[in-house]
Structure 1
């Protein structure tokens, strides 16, 4: 499969918009959303969701606190999905390819932030000189630089990588291709492990074992296990609300006793 021109344009525009959206809502930059949109553009939504969803699990608990740069799982999800569809190797190949791409793009994120610091100093000088009309232009230029930091590399990779990926895939040794596919199969387990690390897993071990039993032994489809999990979550939520309401009622009764004495005799 080869990339069409409209696909290259749409993916590049999406990358430009998504990286700027990360400064506001940080929604489009999520790997799951990036994989889904890229999958829709490439005509393979399933692969996009699998690649993006796996990288989303790996991104949990990681944030750019204090301006620190983290692996760019957004770009990894986009390019991983595209190249997985182009090569025809499936989601595991795309996941294995997305991780090194995310680590590589980390350096460009540092460069983009460095350039924006220069623009920020220009804004400070414009404020000191009361050149208020120049400030919106500087802000817009900073947004353009930040967007180009993802859009240009992705555009180049899509233009050059289209034929390169197909040629490399066709001539790649079986042991290397198998290694990438194996790594792609292992990474979802790592993501699940990270997710369980940040959730109160010990508190809900029975539900975890129940879900494993349904999936592994009864071979219930993932949607069925999801529905069972939703029911369990609703029951836990309802039980928690009942305890909260009962606690409030006990507090109110205690306050009434303290105000009027025992039985109102004091």
Structure 2
């Protein structure tokens, strides 16, 4: 098993912090699993694993948002841990995804705890407003990011620091049913994610295109890049056809209007 160096632990922990606070300060989408997994893959020197793990987890959160302050599974941090452990243990993509999902679900509880801790800063801001000390409000807003950052940094650092020495022991002592279950879950989750994605797409309207893509992938063995290029070409043709139909519709409407004017003049 390859080790995770101290520099990698520090960089991955910093990545988890940035991903955790990014939605509140910049909107660079660092918390998205596919981006977090890709960056973790760069740090670990295994971009392929990071992309596969991140993209798979990304399917699980399509259409999910933290509306009304709701907490959702933090699959971004899960992608970071899953990518790192997969690269360190060489135990397969399915196992990495199977580990990432429960990590993301666990971090829901930590996110709730972090938001609860932010009430301390909120009450301080209320006092500053009452005392008209408006210059201090911005400072407290920045301080309120500390619980969010710690809720990501602590589990990531613990997993990576202790993972260097004990991950192999855990894998060795873990029962076969648990390891098999994690691998099965990792294999099933992409299917669930794709099903969720199809739920939000106009499948009935573009069912023929869906069949063509399935045939290309399942029977003809066309790689994903080839299918993506074909999909882009089809989308471009469809878009141009829509534009031509709109132009024709406007032209017909203009001609009909002209005919009506001529009839009125007669």
TM range (shorter): over 0.9
Shift in alpha-carbon separation, 1:243–1:9, aligned structure 2, 3 A: same
Q: Offset of 1:252 from its aligned partner?
A: 4.2
The alignment partner of 1:62 has SS state of coil
Alignment length (residue pairs): 264
Cα root mean square deviation, aligned: 1.7
Gaps of 5+ in 2: none
Any unmatched runs of 5+ in structure 1? none
Offset of residue 254 of structure 1: 5.0
CA drift of 1:116 comes to: 1.8
Offset from partner CA, 1:111-135 (integer Å, 9 cap, x none)? 1111223312211220220112322
**1:8-63 CA-partner distances (Å, limit 9, x unpaired):** 01011111112111124151100000110111111111111111000000100111
Q: 1:21 to 1:253 in 2, by over 3 A?
A: farther
Q: Distance in 1 between matches of 2:45 and 2:150?
A: 25
Q: Deviations 1:159-213 (Å, cap 9, x if unpaired)?
A: 1233232211133333332221121111111111111111111111111111111
| Equivalence for 2:210 | 208
Q: 1:82-121 to 2 correspondence within 5 Å? A: 82-121=84-123
- Structure 2 CA distance for partners of 1:251 and 1:34, relative to 1, 3 Å: same
What is the TM-score with the length of structure 2 in the denominator? 0.93
Measure the CA separation in 1 of the matches of 2:58 and 2:130.
43
The Cα of 1:231 is off from its aligned counterpart by: 1.0
Question: What CA distance in whole angstroms lies between the structure 2 residues aligned with 1:121 and 1:262?
Answer: 74
Q: State whether residues 2 and 162 of structure 1, in contact with CA within 8 Å, keep that contact through their aligned partners in structure 2.
A: yes
Indicate if the aligned counterparts of 2:115 and 2:147 stay in contact, CA closer than 8 A: no
**Equivalence for 1:265:** 265
**Counterpart position of 2:54:** 52
My pick for the range that moved more, 239-248 or 28-37, is 239-248
* Change in CA separation of 1:2 and 1:252 when aligned onto 2, cut-off 3 Å: same
CA contact (8 A) 1:86 1:166 kept: no
| 2:71–2:108 Cα contact (<8 Å) kept | yes
Structure 2 CA distance for aligned equivalents of residues 58 and 249 of structure 1: 45
1:249–1:148: structure 2 CA closer, same or farther, 3 Å change rule?
Answer: farther
Inter-partner Cα distance in structure 2 for 1:248 and 1:125:
61
**Higher mean C-alpha displacement, 127-136 vs 30-39:** 127-136
Distance in 1 between residues matched to 2:217 and 2:64, nearest whole Å? 29
**CA deviation digits over 1:66-102, x for unaligned, max 9?**
1111111111111111111111112111101111111
Normalization by structure 1: what TM-score? 0.93
